[in-house]
Amino acid sequence: MDLSAINPLVLITSLMVASTPILLAALGELVVEKAGVLNLGVEGMMITGAICGFAVAVETGSPALGMLGAMLGAALLALVFGVLTQVLLSNQVATGLALTLFGLGLSALLGQGYVGLKPPHMPQIHIPVLSDIPVLGQVLFRHDALVYISIALVAAVWALLRFTRAGLVLRAVGENHDAAHALGYKVVRIRLMAITFGGACAGLGGAYLSLVRVPQWTEGMTAGAGWIALAIVVFASWRPWRILLGAYLFGGVTVLQLNLQAAGLAVPVEYLSMSPYLITILVLVIMSADRTRTALGAPASLGRVFHASS
């Protein structure tokens, strides 16, 4: 094995790119769960966003329009979930799983005509002065816009939940929807808005996969990223900045195992490929050992059905 073939700077740069789709999806799911809704359809929304974004970008020649198309497509799919669970009161777990299966099937159907095509290039942003700093400039300040948008979105969600009235209302709905309803807040409307936002974020993460991370369309290309995003929300104890840490941790393990494969590590490729998922499961098992600490972060009404007459 030749470890000298692994460039630490390239490794860290690739880490930020690899983590962005999961970070966006996990951040959207955080807002959804803060509102008291458990949406297990993140994988389906991500893959729908991946094909919608890819198709729009190829047809228009604009990556920006592709990203918007991905957000819209996944948000509409999330809204279907919202209507089923919040208006028609279907089971959230079963509906979320059905959403994932539907999204996987729909994306396979829509993507048949786009296999083998290349999307328009997403330009990188070189921040003046900062991008010229030795080492740090190359690692931190020479990425595409969505890498920076994802980090800014983490800060925005943190500020919203912590300092604004809207964030307080959202958290109140997630902690005790009956009390929030008694105070006059529109629980269903608030949850539908949160679900739509979560869908848009998942779609954006999916589009980043098909337009930037792996610039092509491949059926099933999310490869479980939506499930990892769900796990990261628990790992982060429903806190935005820990979402960033968890996403970058998983992205780092993913990039590292790819580099170890290229360096010729004498371990079967299959074991290296499964390592990011095994490490994620291990972290969740360790955290679940302290059930009290984990439970303190979970919204009290998470997954519970709300009915205005209850």
Give the pLDDT confidence of 27-76 residue by residue, as tens digits: 999 999 999 999 999 999 999 999 999 999 999 999 999 999 999 999 99
Other Cβ atoms closer than 10 A to 270? 8
Structural domains of the chain ordered from first start: 3-120+143-297 (1.10.3470)
Residue 197, pLDDT score = 97
CA-wise closest residue to 57 among 104, 11, 114, 98: 114
Rounded-to-10 torsion of CA 214, 216, 219, 220: 20
Which tens digits make up the pLDDT trace of 253-307? 887 777 676 666 666 766 666 766 777 677 667 666 665 555 557 898 998 888 8
CB of 28 within 8 A of CB of 199?
yes
Residue 3, pLDDT score = 56
Residue 44, pLDDT score = 96
Which tens digits make up the pLDDT trace of 230-252? 989 988 889 999 999 989 988 88
CA-wise closest residue to 38 among 274, 302, 229: 302
Of the listed ranges 134-143, 145-154, 194-203, the one predicted with least confidence: 134-143
- pLDDT of 130 > 80? The answer is no
CA pseudo-torsion sign 184, 188, 192, 198: positive
- How far apart are the C-alpha atoms of 162 and 50, rounded to whole Å? 31
